[in-house]
Chain A
C-alpha cells in the first residue's frame, strides 16, 4: 500500500474539495431561493481569481509587494470578495430579476448568456494566456509532514481552513441573523415571505452577494494553490461546483460542503489510482453524478420534495 500516494491524493482532494465547496455554496443558495441554475456562477469565480491577480500586481507584484505577503493575500481576498459580490448583485439585477415571472427556461438562457459574456469579456480584456500568482515568491510554500508519508503545505492548510471558516460564518449568518431567517423564509415560500413584509429583492440580492463573494474566495484560493489562472477556468469549475451542490443535496449548506469534498476527493483519487487518470478524472466525477441521481436524486443531505397537488 503506497501510503505516500494515498495521503498525497487525500490532501489534494481535500484542498480541491474546499474550493469546490465554496463554489457549490453559491449555487445551492441561489437555487434554494430562486430555483435557478446560475450558469454564470463559475465565471464569477474566474473573475474573482483575476481580481485577486490584479490586486497583487497593484500591490507591487509577487516579488516585491508593498506590504507583507500574507497581508497582501488578505487584501486580495477582501477586494475580490467584495468586487465579485457586487458583480453578482449586478448580474441578478440585470439578467435575472426581470425574469422572475417568465417561463422557467428564460432565466436559464439568460444565465447562459451572462456566462458567455463574462468568459469572453475576460478573454477579450485579459487575453487567453495564463496568469501566475507566484505563490512561492509571495508567501513561500512550506511543507509540513507527519511521519514519512503525510505531507501538507501551508497553502493547502490555508485553503481548507479558510473554506471551512467561511462556511461556518455563512451557516451562522443563515441561522442566527434576521437576514438569514428572511433568506430561509424566501426559499420556502416566496410569496408568503413577501406578504410577511420581507423585501424579496433585498434578500435575493444579499444571497447573490454572499454566493459570489464565496466563489471569489474560491478563485483566489485556486490561484494560490495552483499558481495559474486563465479566463476559461470558470466553466469546468462551475460544472463541478454544481455537481457538488447536487450531490450534497441542493438547498443544503452542509450538503454543498460535503458534496464539494466528495467531488474533490473523487477527482484526486481518480487521477492517482484509476487508468487514464488525470485526463479522465472529469469523466469519473460525471459517473459519480449519474450514480447519485440514480440512487438518491435529492442528494446526500437534501430533503425529498413533496409535491402538493
Chain B
C-alpha cells in the first residue's frame, strides 16, 4: 500500500496526492497485510493438539475416501458379529443415521427448528403398515408402497411447513412440537373404537390399531424378493444411507444447498439476494419429511409393526442429539453421532458395561478437559486416596455405610466395593447425594484454577457414590436419558457446533 510509504504527507481532508497503487498489480504476501492477516482467523480457531491433527488430516482427504472410511466399518460389521448385536448396534444405528440425515437437512442446512420430526417417521411406518400388513389386509409390494409413502410424507411435510410461512424460528419449534403430540394422540385413538372420529362415507375405521399398534406388517417384498433377515434389512438400509449421503453431498455444493445455507445465515439478506426463502423452507421440510418417511417404512418392516410408543419425544431427543453431536450440517458427522448416541446407551444395558462406560468417560473427560497433564493425574490419585480414606472412616464409624453390595458385579464392580460407600439401604441418602452432586457441579463451574482441582476430588467421589447407589438402578431407562440430557448441555457449552461442525460466527 504505497500511500503508507512514499509520497508527500497527506493534509487532513485531502485526497492522497500520490495515485494509489493500481489494483491489478499481483499481490505479494506481506507480513502484516492481506493473506497473513486473512488467515489469522483460521489460526485462532484451529484445533490444537491431537484432535487438531486428526481434523486437518480428515479435511485433506478427498470426499470419496472419507465416505469409504465412514461406511467401510459398517459394511464389514455383519460379518464379524452375531445377529443380536447386528440388530441392536448395527441396524438401529443405521436407521437412526438415516433419520438424522434428514433432520440435518432441515436443521443443519436450512436452520429450521423442527421438533415434530419423528412424527414423519411414525407416519411412514404406519402408512406402510396400512398398505402392507396382515392387520389392514392389504399387501402391496415394497417397490410400490415405499414411493407412495415417501411422496405422501413429503406432502405432509409440505402441509406442516406451510405453517412456517411467516414464523420466526422459535414459533415454528412449538408448532412442530404440538404436531408431534397431535400425531401421537391420533395414532393412539384411530382404531375405530370409542374415541375415534367417524369419517364421512366409511364411518369409523381401524387405521392404526390404537394403543396396541398396527401389527403384522409385511416384510419388504421388493420385486418379488422378500427381505426377511436382519442382515438383509441392514444392507438395504446401509446402501440407502450411503446413496443419500452421496446425494446430499452433491446438493450441498449446488444452488439449492447454497440457498439453504444462505437462508440459515441470514434469511433477510438471502431473500434480497434472489433466494425465495419461504419456498426453500418448504423444500427443506419436505426433504426431511420424505427421508423420515422412508426410514419409517424400514423400521415398520423390521419391527413387523408400528407402535405409538416408539414415536415420541424421547426418540426426537435422540435424533437431535445425533445431529448436534455430529455437527449441524455435517453429513459424515451424522454417522459418527449415530454410533455414539446409539452405541453407548446399548452398552449401558448391562450394569457392568455401563460401569465401564461411566468411569471411562469420566476419566477421558478429565484428561481432555484439564491441562496441563499433571492436574488430571493429581485429581485421579487424589480421588482414589480420598475414597479409601472416607471408606475407611465410614467402616469404622458408620457400619451401615458399607454393608451394601455393588449392583451388577463385574471385576471393576468388586474392586469398587472397597472404595465406594455402599449403604445397605440407600433410599433417601442417595436422593440427597444426587442433589448434592448437582450443587457440587454448579460450584465447580464457579471456581477456577487449583480450587477446581480441590473441589473436583470430593465431587468425583460423590459422583461415584450416586452412580453406584442410584443411577445403576435404571441404566436402560431414566439414567440413560439423564446422561443424554447432560451430554446435550455439556456439548452446547463446550462445542456448540458439534464434533464435526465448523465453528460459526453469528450475527446476533
A–B: direct contact at CB < 8 Å: yes
A residues sitting closer than 8 Å to B (CB atoms) are 31, 35, 37, 90, 93-95, 98-99, 101-110, 112-121, 123-125, 235-236, 239, 242-243, 246, 275-276, 279-280, 282-283, 285-286, 289-290, 293-294, 297, 307, 309
- One digit per residue, 1 when the CB lies within 8 angstroms of any chain A CB and 0 when it does not, for chain B 145-175 equals 0000000000000000001001101110111
Q: Give chain B residues whose Cβ lies under 8 Å from the Cβ of A309.
A: 268
Taking A124-B482, A279-B195 as given, write out 20 further A-B residue pairs in contact, using a Cβ cutoff of 8 Å, ordered by the A residue number.
A93-B445, A95-B492, A99-B492, A102-B496, A109-B320, A114-B485, A114-B489, A117-B485, A120-B477, A123-B474, A124-B434, A125-B434, A235-B313, A239-B181, A276-B189, A280-B189, A283-B182, A293-B163, A294-B163, A297-B166
What is the interface of chain B mostly: helix, strand, loop, or mixed?
helix
Cβ of B246 within 8 Å of any chain A Cβ, yes or no, is: no
Cβ-defined contact, A116 with B163, below 8 A: no
Cβ-defined contact, B182 with A282, below 8 A: yes
With contacts A108-B173, A109-B320 taken as known, whether A286 is within 8 angstroms of B485 at the C-beta atoms is no
Contact among B171, B179, B434, B488 with A113 in the assembled complex (CB-CB below 8 Å)? B488
With contacts A90-B442, A124-B470 taken as known, whether A293 is within 8 angstroms of B171 at the C-beta atoms is yes
Q: Give chain B residues whose Cβ lies under 8 Å from the Cβ of A285.
A: 178
Chain B, 165-209, CB within 8 A of any chain A CB: 166-167, 169-171, 173-175, 177-179, 181-182, 185-186, 189, 195-197
Contact among B178, B434, B481, B492 with A116 in the assembled complex (CB-CB below 8 Å)? B481
Cβ-defined contact, A101 with B485, below 8 A: no
Cβ-defined contact, A239 with B178, below 8 A: yes
Contact among A93, A101, A125 with B442 in the assembled complex (CB-CB below 8 Å)? A93
B488 to chain A, nearest CB (A): 3
Q: Give chain A residues whose Cβ lies under 8 Å from the Cβ of B232.
A: none
Cβ-defined contact, A124 with B471, below 8 A: yes
Cβ of B286 within 8 Å of any chain A Cβ, yes or no, is: no
Cβ-defined contact, A112 with B182, below 8 A: no
B326 to chain A, nearest CB (A): 13
Cβ of B399 within 8 Å of any chain A Cβ, yes or no, is: no
With contacts A103-B496, A236-B181, A279-B189 taken as known, whether A125 is within 8 angstroms of B470 at the C-beta atoms is yes
Cβ-defined contact, A106 with B178, below 8 A: no
With contacts A94-B445, A117-B482, A307-B268 taken as known, whether A99 is within 8 angstroms of B175 at the C-beta atoms is no
With contacts A124-B479, A293-B175, A297-B171 taken as known, whether A105 is within 8 angstroms of B442 at the C-beta atoms is no
Chain B, 58-81, CB within 8 A of any chain A CB: none
Report the separation of the CA atoms of residues A82 and B179 in the bound assembly, to the nearest whole angstrom.
34
Report the separation of the CA atoms of residues A123 and B314 in the bound assembly, to the nearest whole angstrom.
14
Cβ-closest chain A residue relative to B197: A276
What are the 4 tightest A-B residue pairs by CB atom distance, in nearest-first order? A113-B488, A116-B485, A117-B485, A113-B489
Report the separation of the CA atoms of residues A117 and B485 in the bound assembly, to the nearest whole angstrom.
5
Report the separation of the CA atoms of residues A294 and B479 in the bound assembly, to the nearest whole angstrom.
41
Cβ-closest chain A residue relative to B504: A103
Chain B, 445-496, CB within 8 A of any chain A CB: 445, 470-471, 473-474, 477-479, 481-482, 484-489, 492-493, 496
Q: Give chain B residues whose Cβ lies under 8 Å from the Cβ of A102.
A: 492, 496, 506
Q: Give chain A residues whose Cβ lies under 8 Å from the Cβ of B171.
A: 246, 293, 297
Chain B, 268-303, CB within 8 A of any chain A CB: 268
Cβ of B317 within 8 Å of any chain A Cβ, yes or no, is: yes
Q: Give chain B residues whose Cβ lies under 8 Å from the Cβ of A124.
A: 434, 470-471, 473-474, 478-479, 482
Cβ of B431 within 8 Å of any chain A Cβ, yes or no, is: yes
A-B pairs with beta carbons under 8 Å apart, 8 shown:
A105-B328, A107-B492, A113-B488, A116-B484, A124-B474, A279-B185, A280-B195, A293-B171
Cβ of B324 within 8 Å of any chain A Cβ, yes or no, is: yes
Q: Give chain A residues whose Cβ lies under 8 Å from the Cβ of B189.
A: 276, 279-280
Cβ-defined contact, A101 with B478, below 8 A: no
Contact among B174, B431, B473, B484 with A242 in the assembled complex (CB-CB below 8 Å)? B174
Q: Give chain A residues whose Cβ lies under 8 Å from the Cβ of B175.
A: 289-290, 293
Q: Give chain A residues whose Cβ lies under 8 Å from the Cβ of B497.
A: 103
Report the separation of the CA atoms of residues A98 and B168 in the bound assembly, to the nearest whole angstrom.
24
Q: Give chain A residues whose Cβ lies under 8 Å from the Cβ of B163.
A: 290, 293-294
Cβ of B25 within 8 Å of any chain A Cβ, yes or no, is: no
Cβ-defined contact, B167 with A108, below 8 A: no
B residues sitting closer than 8 Å to A (CB atoms) are 107, 111, 113, 163, 166-167, 169-171, 173-175, 177-179, 181-182, 185-186, 189, 195-197, 268, 313, 317, 320, 324, 328, 430-431, 434, 438, 441-442, 445, 470-471, 473-474, 477-479, 481-482, 484-489, 492-493, 496-497, 504, 506, 508
B182 to chain A, nearest CB (A): 5
Cβ-defined contact, B317 with A112, below 8 A: yes
Report the separation of the CA atoms of residues A101 and B166 in the bound assembly, to the nearest whole angstrom.
25
Cβ-defined contact, B485 with A293, below 8 A: no
Cβ-defined contact, A94 with B482, below 8 A: no
Contact among B169, B178, B478 with A243 in the assembled complex (CB-CB below 8 Å)? B178
Q: Give chain B residues whose Cβ lies under 8 Å from the Cβ of A118.
A: 485
With contacts A116-B482, A246-B171 taken as known, whether A105 is within 8 angstroms of B185 at the C-beta atoms is no
Report the separation of the CA atoms of residues A307 and B269 in the bound assembly, to the nearest whole angstrom.
13
With contacts A116-B317, A236-B181 taken as known, whether A94 is within 8 angstroms of B442 at the C-beta atoms is yes
Q: Give chain B residues whose Cβ lies under 8 Å from the Cβ of A112.
A: 317, 320, 485, 488
Cβ-defined contact, A280 with B185, below 8 A: yes
Cβ-closest chain A residue relative to B428: A125
Report the separation of the CA atoms of residues A45 and B414 in the bound assembly, to the nearest whole angstrom.
40
Q: Give chain A residues whose Cβ lies under 8 Å from the Cβ of B482.
A: 116-117, 120-121, 124
Q: Give chain B residues whose Cβ lies under 8 Å from the Cβ of A290.
A: 163, 175
Cβ-defined contact, B492 with A125, below 8 A: no
Cβ-defined contact, A98 with B493, below 8 A: yes
Contact among B186, B268, B478, B493 with A120 in the assembled complex (CB-CB below 8 Å)? B478
Report the separation of the CA atoms of residues A285 and B185 in the bound assembly, to the nearest whole angstrom.
13
Report the separation of the CA atoms of residues A82 and B496 in the bound assembly, to the nearest whole angstrom.
32
Q: Give chain A residues whose Cβ lies under 8 Å from the Cβ of B430.
A: 125
Contact among B111, B197, B431, B488 with A109 in the assembled complex (CB-CB below 8 Å)? B488
Q: Give chain A residues whose Cβ lies under 8 Å from the Cβ of B182.
A: 282-283, 286
Report the separation of the CA atoms of residues A25 and B171 in the bound assembly, to the nearest whole angstrom.
17
Residue with the greatest number of chain B CB neighbours at <10 A, chosen from A116, A117, A125, A297 = A116
Cβ-closest chain B residue relative to A102: B496
Report the separation of the CA atoms of residues A225 and B374 in the bound assembly, to the nearest whole angstrom.
57
Report the separation of the CA atoms of residues A117 and B492 in the bound assembly, to the nearest whole angstrom.
15
Report the separation of the CA atoms of residues A121 and B482 in the bound assembly, to the nearest whole angstrom.
7
Cβ-closest chain B residue relative to A236: B181
Cβ-defined contact, A37 with B170, below 8 A: yes
Cβ-defined contact, A115 with B489, below 8 A: no
B457 to chain A, nearest CB (A): 20
Contact among A242, A280, A293 with B167 in the assembled complex (CB-CB below 8 Å)? A293
Cβ-defined contact, A115 with B485, below 8 A: yes
Q: Give chain A residues whose Cβ lies under 8 Å from the Cβ of B493.
A: 95, 98-99, 110
Cβ-defined contact, A286 with B181, below 8 A: yes
B369 to chain A, nearest CB (A): 14
Cβ-defined contact, B486 with A113, below 8 A: yes
Report the separation of the CA atoms of residues A37 and B170 in the bound assembly, to the nearest whole angstrom.
7
Q: Give chain B residues whose Cβ lies under 8 Å from the Cβ of A117.
A: 482, 485-486, 489
